[in-house]
Amino acid sequence: MKYKISLFLLLIFVLNSCQNEDEKRRAENAKEAKKNEIIFNNINKAWTFIDEPINEVAEQKVSSWAEWRDFLKEIGDKPRKTIGAFQKKSAAISKKALALNNNIPIEFNVPQIKSRISILITKVEMMDLFINLNTIPDKKVTFLIGEINKELISLERQMDQVVAKSKIPKEEGEEDFLKMLDTTRAIPNSNTVPVPPMQSNINKKLPTVD
């Protein structure tokens, strides 16, 4: 009889323990879901990129530079509903950003533009890294969205400056002067005194006259 009572009490204890564990698990799941909801809302609210060119030069390149056009199109397409959708979109944006190194128009294939592209790519890759962590640091992701927008503006302004500078007419005679400099660099210095070759018979005896 005592054995049955002990077994019954043990069974009740086990059932209560399981019930407590279930309640604890449900509470933790609810807490995690609430946390993920806050992260999603913060990222969703901040996810707005400058997908329209800010000046005429950048707008003109939309038609002639395919990689630039594709990048702007990618950042303009906002994901919806889940954090997973944002993660996929972030990866797609990173891929399009890397492609900006390809087929850069001749007038933009200069250090000023290439450095801006490099910085933009770095910021995009950082965003992609953070948004794919197990615990997403939403503040860092939203901060990087703002940084990417700043780099986009900086890049487009640099484009405008490069084109504006190329339109400035050279002063009269400047082009001929530059050509002359290139030519004179190729001409050896005529003031250098040539060194005569060593006489091979310097140690030979001079012929004697009988």
| Most confidently modeled range among 6-20, 54-68, 88-102 | 88-102
Average pLDDT in the chain:
82
Residue 28, both tokens: 């933790």
Rounded CA separation 160/112 (Å): 12
> What's the rounded mean pLDDT across residues 65-92?
95
Q: Is the per-residue pLDDT at 13 higher than 70?
A: no
Instruction: Specify whether the CB–CB gap between 162 and 113 falls below 8 A.
Output: yes
| Most confidently modeled range among 1-5, 29-33, 102-106 | 102-106
Write out the DSSP string of 61-130: HHHH-HHHHHHHHHHHS---SSHHHHHHHHHHHHHHHHGGGSS--GGG-SHHHHHHHHHHHHHHHHHHHH
Q: Is the per-residue pLDDT at 130 higher than 50?
A: yes
Q: Is the per-residue pLDDT at 183 higher than 50?
A: yes
pLDDT (0 to 100) of residue 170: 59
Instruction: Specify whether the CB–CB gap between 97 and 120 falls below 8 A.
Output: yes
The whole-model pTM stands at 0.70
pLDDT (0 to 100) of residue 169: 76
Instruction: Specify whether the CB–CB gap between 39 and 131 falls below 8 A.
Output: no
Rounded CA separation 35/14 (Å): 31
Instruction: Specify whether the CB–CB gap between 83 and 136 falls below 8 A.
Output: yes
pLDDT (0 to 100) of residue 7: 61
pLDDT (0 to 100) of residue 197: 52
Q: Kindly report, residue by residue over 30-73, the tens digit of the pLDDT.
A: 878 888 899 999 999 999 999 999 999 999 888 899 999 999 99
Q: Kindly report, residue by residue over 132-164, the tens digit of the pLDDT.
A: 999 999 999 999 999 999 999 999 999 999 999
